[in-house]
A and B are shown apart, each in its own frame.
Chain A
Amino acid sequence: MNIAVTQIMPPALMREQQQLIKLIFSEQNLTSGSKFDARGIAIYRNNLLETAVRALGISFPTVQKLVGEDVFRFAALQLLKVAPPDKGDWAMWGEQLPAVLESIEALDGFVYVPDSARLDWAIHQVSRARDCQFKMTSIRLLQDVELDKLFISQSDCTQILTSDYPVYQAWKANHASEPEGYIDEFKQRIASEQFQQYLAVYRVGYKPDVLELSADDYQFFRLLKRGYSIGTALELLDKPDFAFDSWLTQAIKHNLIYAFTKIN
């Protein structure tokens, strides 16, 4: 190579690029004396919004269906303002969309939409996570190690979440081939007081799926995720009738956990 790498960046170039970024990301009036062709800036602005909408449509397919194209587009525009993309990979952009949705007035009557977005995001994350499968050989540790010294490492392909709304039914109603039953269930559950839903997003193979958990199963997962040993998690859960065997069978079946590990 004929050049030396330098970390000192030319200020004029930096200014030029910052000016262009500002014109594209801001809503500055394009006719107010810019040195750039306003039609060109409009093309870049439009590209940005269209790409953002398309990217969010992939990561948040349920939300897109729930809120409709106009509100979804508005949400994308708001998200570009408060949390512009910064990774160079549109698939990694959108984590703050649930918070943006909470602030949109048009969605005031649709309180479940932000949590539906959290579920969409979890599914999106799981679909892209490192491929992993439960290490069956680690199960022998159950026989050899005391529960207080035995841990369960979580699968990258699993996320757990909770909601005050029946977002699982909202998700199924928008993606199942026969959605009618889920729509009815959604209506019933959203009308009930003190509702709480516990979910695990998981992946067996490449297709992510969602599982409704009991409150105890969810809490036990959460304790393990926080790094407690199985013994301590059971103690903190404080539910004498909690069936660890059933929980484990379900966890292995749905690839929710990665392996048993022990402290040496």
Chain B
Amino acid sequence: MQAFEKYHANNSFAPLVGVGLRHPHFSDALASVAPVDFVEVHSENYFAEGGATLAVLREIAQKYPVSLHSTALGLGSAGTIPAHYMQKLKSLVNQIKPVLVSDHACFSWGSWQQQSVHAGDLLPISFTEESLKTLANNVDQVQQFLGRQLLIENLSAYIQFDYNSMSETEFLVRLTELSGCGLLLDLNNILVNAHNQLANDPMHYATQWINQIPSHVVGEIHLAGFSTVTFGELAIDDHSQPVSSNGWQLYFCALKRFGAVPTLIEWDNQLPDWDVLIDEVKKARIVADRVMPQRIAAL
């Protein structure tokens, strides 16, 4: 059975748990099949027309179901998404046949000094009607072009807009209604935002946040850690640490609310050994085991 088919054949009550796969772990991942349900890669890293990196990804896709997580579509940009970018993504999707395709609720494209630019970052968008329609239009356009649903990730933001007309959760839920996309809930981003917005009780903020999201729209959960900072300093979503205890606690709440949603451990900076990443997967499964018996009993 192909890796892709195995993913879709999963009918257990437990969530599928994967890891973000980065270059330094390629040989580990290929040496023997690790006990993970899928791997997630950043799409743009494989936009080359040929060469070693793309060849490795093809090999990886023979062994693991692959999720393509894009970081540069800039779907909230007040302009159309460039055709060259969409074509590259489509070409990669056609080659790799990913189990999930996702990007972020952010913008990246714009212009500066009469030149088109891509900001190279996930820039925040305001939660207004204008912004919502733009994002929904672009998500719709990309979904139609790819012929499949996108999952859209909530962002960690370092600036706020004082003229938002709705909450982030209302914005995201309406986005799913307008465009038919699913949501990729990044629990770490919620905790980073809670810190940066000076929430008195970050866990209360975060649980309230996820309780405003209906369970049927959530297609994936991201777990990660970030470098701690003191209260009042801005926290950065640097994916450089293991999942925090708050992160695990929030994951417990999320599984209770959303059920067995595919879950990914993200770690991008100060990458640990492959075994440490796999241990994080095991931790996620332990949390899921604590949640799922209750769920099964309730059925």
Task: Give the B-binding residues of A (Cβ under 8 A).
Answer: 1-3, 5-7, 9-10, 12-14, 16-18, 20-22, 24-26, 35-37, 39-41, 43-44, 47-48, 51-52, 84-92, 127-132, 156-157, 203, 206-207
A-B contact pairs, 25 of them (CB 8 A): A3-B137, A3-B178, A5-B141, A9-B79, A16-B126, A17-B107, A18-B112, A21-B119, A37-B158, A40-B159, A44-B123, A47-B121, A84-B112, A86-B115, A87-B84, A88-B73, A88-B74, A88-B85, A91-B44, A91-B48, A127-B48, A128-B49, A129-B49, A131-B50, A131-B51
Given contacts A25-B112, A87-B84, A88-B73, 4 further A-B contacts (CB under 8 A): A13-B126, A18-B111, A41-B158, A47-B121
Contact of B140 among A5, A20, A26, A41 (CB under 8 A): A5
User: B77: shortest Cβ distance to chain A, in Å?
Assistant: 7
Task: Assess whether B177 is in contact with A9, with CB atoms less than 8 Å apart.
Answer: no
Interface size classification for chain B:
35 or more
Chain B 94-125 against A: per-residue CB contact (8 Å), 1 yes, 0 no?
A: 00000000000001111110011111110101
- In the complex, whether B130 has a CB less than 8 A from a CB of chain A is yes
A16 to B164, CA, bound (A): 12
Task: Give the A-binding residues of B (Cβ under 8 A).
Answer: 44-45, 47-53, 55, 72-74, 77-80, 82, 84-85, 88, 107-112, 115-121, 123, 125-126, 128, 130-131, 133-134, 136-137, 140-141, 143-144, 157-162, 177-180, 234, 236
Q: Which residues of B contact A26 (CB under 8 A)?
A: 112
A44 to B156, CA, bound (A): 12
Q: Which residues of A contact B157 (CB under 8 A)?
A: 40
Contact of A130 among B49, B79, B80, B125 (CB under 8 A): B49
A41 to B234, CA, bound (A): 11
Task: Assess whether B123 is in contact with A20, with CB atoms less than 8 Å apart.
Answer: yes
Task: Assess whether B158 is in contact with A85, with CB atoms less than 8 Å apart.
Answer: no
A40 to B124, CA, bound (A): 11
Q: Which residues of A contact B178 (CB under 8 A)?
A: 1-3
**Interface of B (DSSP majority class):** mixed
A1 to B143, CA, bound (A): 10
Task: Assess whether B140 is in contact with A43, with CB atoms less than 8 Å apart.
Answer: no
Task: Assess whether B50 is in contact with A86, with CB atoms less than 8 Å apart.
Answer: no
Q: Which residues of A contact B143 (CB under 8 A)?
A: 1
A31 to B211, CA, bound (A): 38
Q: Which residues of A contact B130 (CB under 8 A)?
A: 10, 12-13
Task: Assess whether B141 is in contact with A36, with CB atoms less than 8 Å apart.
Answer: no
A3 to B77, CA, bound (A): 17
Q: Which residues of B contact A44 (CB under 8 A)?
A: 119, 121, 123, 158-159
Task: Assess whether B133 is in contact with A18, with CB atoms less than 8 Å apart.
Answer: no
Given A87-B118, A89-B72, A3–B179 Cβ distance below 8 Å? yes
Q: Which residue of A lies closest to B108 (CB)?
A: A88
Task: Assess whether B110 is in contact with A21, with CB atoms less than 8 Å apart.
Answer: yes
Q: Which residues of A contact B123 (CB under 8 A)?
A: 17, 20-21, 24, 44
Given A84-B115, A85-B120, A6–B51 Cβ distance below 8 Å? no
A151 to B228, CA, bound (A): 63
Task: Assess whether A1 is in contact with B78, with CB atoms less than 8 Å apart.
Answer: no
Task: Assess whether B140 is in contact with A3, with CB atoms less than 8 Å apart.
Answer: yes
Q: Which of A2, A9, A89, A128 has the most CB of B within 10 A?
A: A89
Closest 10 CB pairs of A and B: A40-B158, A128-B48, A131-B50, A40-B159, A206-B52, A88-B72, A10-B130, A21-B110, A130-B49, A14-B78
User: A64: shortest Cβ distance to chain B, in Å?
Assistant: 17
Task: Assess whether B117 is in contact with A21, with CB atoms less than 8 Å apart.
Answer: yes
A16 to B49, CA, bound (A): 35
Given A86-B115, A87-B84, A89-B72, A51–B50 Cβ distance below 8 Å? no
Task: Assess whether A89 is in contact with B126, with CB atoms less than 8 Å apart.
Answer: no
